[in-house]
A and B are shown apart, each in its own frame.
Chain A
Amino acid sequence: MDLSEINPVLLVASLMVAATPLLLAAIGELVVEKAGVLNLGVEGMMIVGAISGFAISVETGSPWLGFIAAAIGGAVLSLLFVLLTQFALANQVASGLALTLFGLGFSALMGQSYVGVKPPSMGEIHIPIISDIPVIGPVLFQHDPILYLGIALTAAVWAVLKYTRVGLILRAVGENHDAAHALGYKVIKIRIMAILFGGACAGLGGAYISLIRVPQWTEGMTAGVGWIALALVVFASWKPWRALLGAYLFGGITVLQLNLQAAGVAIPVEYLAMSPYIITILVLVILSADKSSAPASLGRIFHASH
């Protein structure tokens, strides 16, 4: 075992990369839940985003088009969730599970011819001078653009929810859909927009895994990240900046355990590999005492006739 092989600068830099898929998916789901909808299909939307992004960027050679395709792929899958929960008024838990089961199968089917293919690289943003500062440069300013998009999105969602009329309406729909309806807001329409946004974000998060983090396509490669993102929203008490903090925390744990595996610590690989999931459970336990910040209409079906 040689812990000195672990380079702290690289560790923090890769922590940010590991956290980004989680952050993207969690920010999307946060908006969905703020609108009062519980979409458990994050894992399914992520994996569909991962394969659509991968396939398109391999076919076109452009990672940018890949990410756009991933967002569209995730949103299209979430459209199925919209049909089930907003129009067919189906149970949201069951519909979310259906989305995940379907997404996992569908992505495996789509991805058959892409196993072992290498995707085009996106490259890193390199800002002269800033990126070359020792330590801070490689940690903060030598990443791919999508990583910064994730942070920007967090800021945008925070600002929109907190300071704009749109954010207020979205929160009203999530807190009390009957009251929002009585005030004349289109509850269903607002929720559909939120679900589609969540799908697009999850798709981006998935593509980040298949195009940048790994970068490769394997079946079921999201390996529970979508579920951890759901836990993260609870962890964050539905607050965007806390989601960012949580994502970096989980990213850190993931990277650290991978580094410990590589360094050959005396702990068996399997126990290290299960640590992110166990820590997710522990965090959920610690934070579940306070449920006051959960949107009051979360998971409830809205039907305008009564």
Chain B
Amino acid sequence: MLEKRPQPSKAWSYATPLVAVLATMLFGGVLFAILGKNPIEAIGTIFWDPLFGEFSFYYRPQLLVKGAPLVLIAIGLSLGFRAGIWNIGAEGQYIMGAIFGAGAGLAFYPLDAWYIFPIMVIAGAFGGWIWATIPAFLKVRFGTNEILVSLMLVYVAEQMLASVSLGLLKNPEGFGFPGSRNFQSYDSGHNAELIAGSGMHWGVVAAFIAVIFAYVLLNRHILGFHIRLTGEAPRAAKFAGVNPARLILFCLGLSGALAGLAGMFEVSGPSGVVSIDFNVGYGFTAIIVAFLGRLHPVGILLAGGLMALTYIGGEIAQSQLGLPAAAIQVFQGMLLFFLLAFDLLTNYRIRAARSEVA
């Protein structure tokens, strides 16, 4: 018999992500065993090798490279999720950020100037912002469901990406192959590592700033209070004078801008080129990261690291053990399942069943 707790349990709210990770490892192990792999070896390869294995000097920087976009996007999403505003189209905003950022940079090619990279940053954020403002505006003005609109725009963005990689942004010296010029060989627009070999690029810096910013916003600022209030008690928020339209525009716009930044830092750094298959689903994985981090900035930082680990470890397991790439996707999906399931214990407590009194 379930009984609603008067207050959500603090202890359980910290414990559920850990329990969920353990349960996922357990069931993931079963899955790997079914696929004919040694489960202990597979789990070890995914979670241990990138951190402490023989080639960890190579993989550890990757943790920052893969974790930064996840954290950056998830921070933005978490603000909206807290207020019950569901932006699930971060993947599209990520793509648009990359297109806008790269487009701005390539417009200056081959000029060499210090201001090009900052302009790209602004353009990338703008691209993501405008893409997320479409569902925000439609929701505010017409009451359109933001979940469906933001998601539809992912497919539109993917087509845009295909279009510009084959047309507008195609490398004129690329021998007809699709894809843009490589930013890794264009210094003014290159998001290079700040310390060589560390994996630390501007996107990582931006992710850390976003974490601090979100923490301050939620704990010290009236807007953050309004976000939390709207999510936990919408009626109270109304009486407190929260302007829902402004909140929607802010939450969606900010999450879009952050996703756009993530895309821009990725395209100008680790990826280097705008190409048809440039996006790899960070925008969707970030949803898992946001929930796994309990929609809390510090939690998201940790969750982003963990999720980056599964990406890197998954790649190692793929090449060393022949574990299919999709198995990691299943693994990540399972994590969200267990998290949502165990969250029951945060809000409810289990009591021995009593006989019902009529």
Does A268 contact B340, Cβ atoms closer than 8 Å? Answer: no
In the complex, A104 Cα to B144 Cα: how many Å?
26
Asked if B243 is an interface residue, CB under 8 A from chain A, the answer is: no
Could you mark each residue 306-329 of chain B with 1 if its beta carbon is under 8 Å from any beta carbon of chain A, else 0?
A: 000000000000000000111111
Q: Which residues of A contact B143 (CB under 8 A)?
A: 288-289, 291
Could you mark each residue 328-358 of chain B with 1 if its beta carbon is under 8 Å from any beta carbon of chain A, else 0?
A: 1111111011001111100110000000000
A102-B160 in contact given A84-B337, A90-B341 (Cβ < 8 Å): no
Does B155 contact A224, Cβ atoms closer than 8 Å? Answer: yes
Does B326 contact A281, Cβ atoms closer than 8 Å? Answer: no
Q: Which residues of B contact A271 (CB under 8 A)?
A: 159, 163
Does A278 contact B156, Cβ atoms closer than 8 Å? Answer: yes
Interface stretch of the complex, out of A13-21, A60-68, A93-101, A142-150: A93-101
Does A285 contact B144, Cβ atoms closer than 8 Å? Answer: yes
Does B160 contact A230, Cβ atoms closer than 8 Å? Answer: no
Asked if A91 is an interface residue, CB under 8 A from chain B, the answer is: yes
Asked if A243 is an interface residue, CB under 8 A from chain B, the answer is: no
Does A305 contact B3, Cβ atoms closer than 8 Å? Answer: yes
B346 CB to nearest A CB, Å: 11
B278 CB to nearest A CB, Å: 15
Interface size class of B (residues with CB under 8 A): 35 or more
In the complex, A288 Cα to B343 Cα: how many Å?
33
A90-B340 in contact given A40-B147, A223-B155, A270-B163 (Cβ < 8 Å): yes
In the complex, A224 Cα to B88 Cα: how many Å?
13
Closest to A219 in B: B326
In the complex, A277 Cα to B138 Cα: how many Å?
15
Closest to A112 in B: B324
Asked if B239 is an interface residue, CB under 8 A from chain A, the answer is: no
Which residues B74-130 have CB closer than 8 A to chain A? 86, 88
Could you mark each residue 216-244 of chain A with 1 if its beta carbon is under 8 Å from any beta carbon of chain B, else 0?
A: 00010001100110110010000000000
In the complex, A291 Cα to B331 Cα: how many Å?
38
Asked if B205 is an interface residue, CB under 8 A from chain A, the answer is: no
A105-B333 in contact given A89-B348, A90-B340 (Cβ < 8 Å): yes
Interface stretch of the complex, out of B47-55, B189-197, B284-292: B284-292
In the complex, A287 Cα to B327 Cα: how many Å?
40
Asked if B4 is an interface residue, CB under 8 A from chain A, the answer is: yes
Asked if B219 is an interface residue, CB under 8 A from chain A, the answer is: no
Q: Which residues of A contact B86 (CB under 8 A)?
A: 93
B294 CB to nearest A CB, Å: 12
Asked if B145 is an interface residue, CB under 8 A from chain A, the answer is: yes
Does A109 contact B330, Cβ atoms closer than 8 Å? Answer: yes
Q: Which residues of A contact B340 (CB under 8 A)?
A: 84, 88, 90-91, 94-95, 98
Interface size class of A (residues with CB under 8 A): 35 or more
Q: Which residues of B contact A101 (CB under 8 A)?
A: 284, 287-288, 329, 332-333, 336
Please pick, from B148, B151, B329, the residue contacting A105 in the complex, using a CB distance under 8 A.
Answer: B329
Q: Which residues of A contact B344 (CB under 8 A)?
A: 87-90
Instruction: Indicate the member of B138, B284, B340, B342 with the most A CB atoms within 10 Å.
Output: B340
Q: Which residues of B contact A228 (CB under 8 A)?
A: 152
In the complex, A231 Cα to B150 Cα: how many Å?
12
A274-B337 in contact given A88-B343, A94-B291, A291-B143 (Cβ < 8 Å): no
Could you mark each residue 198-222 of chain A with 1 if its beta carbon is under 8 Å from any beta carbon of chain B, else 0?
A: 0000000000000000000001000
Which residues A256-306 have CB closer than 8 A to chain B? 268, 270-271, 273-274, 277-278, 280-281, 284-285, 288-289, 291, 303, 305-306
Does A305 contact B2, Cβ atoms closer than 8 Å? Answer: yes
A288-B336 in contact given A88-B341, A270-B163 (Cβ < 8 Å): no
Asked if B153 is an interface residue, CB under 8 A from chain A, the answer is: yes
In the complex, A270 Cα to B161 Cα: how many Å?
9
In the complex, A106 Cα to B326 Cα: how many Å?
7
Q: Which residues of B contact A270 (CB under 8 A)?
A: 159-160, 162-163, 166
In the complex, A219 Cα to B326 Cα: how many Å?
10
In the complex, A268 Cα to B182 Cα: how many Å?
25
A138 CB to nearest B CB, Å: 31
Does A268 contact B163, Cβ atoms closer than 8 Å? Answer: yes
Asked if B142 is an interface residue, CB under 8 A from chain A, the answer is: yes
Closest to B1 in A: A305
Does A98 contact B336, Cβ atoms closer than 8 Å? Answer: yes
Asked if A151 is an interface residue, CB under 8 A from chain B, the answer is: no
Does B2 contact A303, Cβ atoms closer than 8 Å? Answer: yes
Q: Which residues of B contact A103 (CB under 8 A)?
A: 333
Closest to A268 in B: B163
Does B151 contact A227, Cβ atoms closer than 8 Å? Answer: yes
Does A224 contact B142, Cβ atoms closer than 8 Å? Answer: no
A108-B329 in contact given A285-B142, A288-B144 (Cβ < 8 Å): yes
Closest to A278 in B: B156
Which residues B141-187 have CB closer than 8 A to chain A? 142-145, 147-149, 151-153, 155-156, 159-160, 162-163, 166-167
Asked if A133 is an interface residue, CB under 8 A from chain B, the answer is: no
Does A109 contact B348, Cβ atoms closer than 8 Å? Answer: no
Does A102 contact B336, Cβ atoms closer than 8 Å? Answer: yes
Does A281 contact B152, Cβ atoms closer than 8 Å? Answer: yes
A109-B341 in contact given A97-B287, A101-B333, A284-B144 (Cβ < 8 Å): no
A284-B149 in contact given A101-B287, A109-B327, A273-B159 (Cβ < 8 Å): yes
Extra A-B contacts (15), CB below 8 Å, given A101-B284, A109-B327, A277-B156: A88-B342, A91-B340, A94-B336, A97-B88, A97-B287, A98-B288, A112-B326, A227-B151, A231-B148, A270-B160, A270-B166, A281-B144, A284-B148, A288-B145, A291-B143
